[in-house]
Amino acid sequence: MKKVLSTLGLTAAVGLILPQVAVAKETIVIGEVSWDASIAIENILKVIMEENFDVDVEIIAADQAAIWSAMDKGKGSVDIHPDIWSSSQTEPLAKFVAKGSRESVKVNQHPYLGTDGFYIPGYIQDEYNVKSVYDLKKPEIAKLFDSDGDGLGEYWPGAPGWTGVKINQVKAKSYGFDEYFEPVVVSDSIIKAQLKTAYRKKEGILFYYWTPEWLHYAYDLRKLEEPKFTGYAGDSKKQHEDYNPEGCYKFNDTENWLEDSDITCNIPETEIFIGYSVSLEERAPKVAEFLSKVSLDAGYVSEWVYKIASENEDPIDMAEEWVKNNSKIVETWLP
């Protein structure tokens, strides 16, 4: 008996002096798309996940196609898309999320709602009565938006890599104002600088934008009227709940997307999701459960965006402060 006890004691002592082997944390990777709401949401998610789960969270910049591809593969190169606008991401949602598809990506149960469209400054609308997208077909109106003197107005359809860039060019063609306007595809930060200059000089500027977003706090922006949405057309939308073979929204992301598409309406309020790779359910099940339960609100998102984009708060500092001050909300999202 003494020998057995001595052996046990020696084993315990050896265990105390052997180096402890650290278990590597799971790394969760969020794909950053280039608009402010994405930046705000990804930092909120990062803070919550690192504080409540034994994981490291990395954020890398990528275009949406690359993010979807990585989530589909499930290898961990990108695990999360923080801000999926369903109106402009119908194709990947149908390919990777919808029942009967690859089902390699899931989205949170409760999306928040947003709107988008073409915006102009209030002073242009008030002085020149520009209220509809069809008013842009008038040459005298297009001149108000010609900043380089080449005889064509300019409009911003979105930033490089955004699916909306194609969609908004299709709209310009379908509404007929592409004859008098040319698209200028630059970064989100550049268009915001141009907007600031346009307001200072009281000049015209036409650009695609959305709500929620801090610009609507800082400027008097007016959304141009478009015909009402009557449904998605095209064979790829046959399984969609809003499918209508005679619908006003036909977008085909083909090689000849501009010629093959026709969009003559607005989009109703858009559901905006957080997407995550199904592989997280095995690699980090608590994280996957958390992502499924996150329930954002347009009010939260507007507040976050205003702080980082208008008040120049560091995104991670903003996120840490909000999470600390809103623990009751965060608790409802946790497993």
Supply 268's token pair.
């109703």
Mean pLDDT of the chain: 91
Task: Say if residue 7's pLDDT is above 70.
Answer: no
**Residue 208 three-state SS:** strand
Burial (CB count within 10 angstroms: exposed 0-12, middle 13-18, buried 19+), residue 15: exposed
Ramachandran assignment for 129, one of left (phi > 0), alpha (psi -120 to 50 degrees), beta (any other): left
Name the pLDDT band for 236 (thresholds 50, 70, 90).
confident
Beta-bridged to residue 116, according to DSSP, are 210
Contact 108, 274 (CB under 8 A): yes
Model pLDDT, residue 21 = 53
Residue 194, pLDDT score: 97
Q: How many CB atoms lie within 10 A of CB 164?
A: 19
Q: What percent of the chain has pLDDT over 90?
A: 79
Is a pLDDT exceeding 80 seen at residue 76?
yes
Specify the pLDDT at position 316.
97
Give residue 4's pLDDT.
42
Assess whether pLDDT exceeds 80 at residue 2.
Answer: no
What integer is the mean pLDDT of 45-62?
A: 97
DSSP run (H or E) holding 192:
helix 188-201
Domains of the chain: 26-113+270-333 (3.40.190.10), 114-263 (3.40.190.100)
Closest CA to 223 of 159, 100, 131: 131
Mean pLDDT to the nearest integer, 261-278: 95
Residue 17, sorted as left (phi over 0), alpha (psi -120 to 50) or beta, turns out to be: alpha
* pLDDT at residue 18 tops 90: no
Question: Would you call 132 helix, strand, or coil by DSSP?
Answer: strand
Are 167 and 185 in contact by the 8 Å Cβ rule? The answer is no
Residues 220, 142: Cα–Cα separation, whole Å: 20
Q: What is the 3-state secondary structure (H, E, C) of 241-284?
A: CCECCCCCEECCCCCCHHHHCEECCCCCCEEEEEEEECCHHHHC
> What is the model's pTM?
0.70
When pLDDT is averaged across residues 8-32 and rounded to a whole number, the result is: 65
Section 156-185 average pLDDT: 96
What's the pLDDT at 70? 98
- For residue 122, CA distances in Å to 128, 191, 198, 201, 213 come to 10, 17, 12, 13, 17
The pLDDT tens digits of the residues spanning 94-106 come to 999 999 999 999 9
Is pLDDT above 90 for 23? Answer: no
Helix axes of 315-325 and 298-305: crossing angle, nearest 10 degrees? 140
What digits encode the pLDDT tens for the residues 219-235?
A: 999 999 999 999 999 87
Average pLDDT over residues 51-58: 96
Helix axes 36-52, 298-305, angle to 10 degrees: 100
* pLDDT, tens only, 105-122: 999 999 999 989 999 999
pLDDT at 38 over 60: yes
pLDDT exceeds 60 at position 19: no
| Residue 167 DSSP one-character state | H
Predicted local confidence at residue 261, as pLDDT: 96
Residue 216 confidence (pLDDT): 86
Q: How far apart are CA 79 and CA 105, in angstroms?
A: 9
Quick one: pLDDT band at residue 1, thresholds 50, 70, 90? very low
What tokens were used for 184? 């200028």
Task: From 297, 250, 265, 305, select the one nearest 90 (Cα to Cα).
Answer: 250
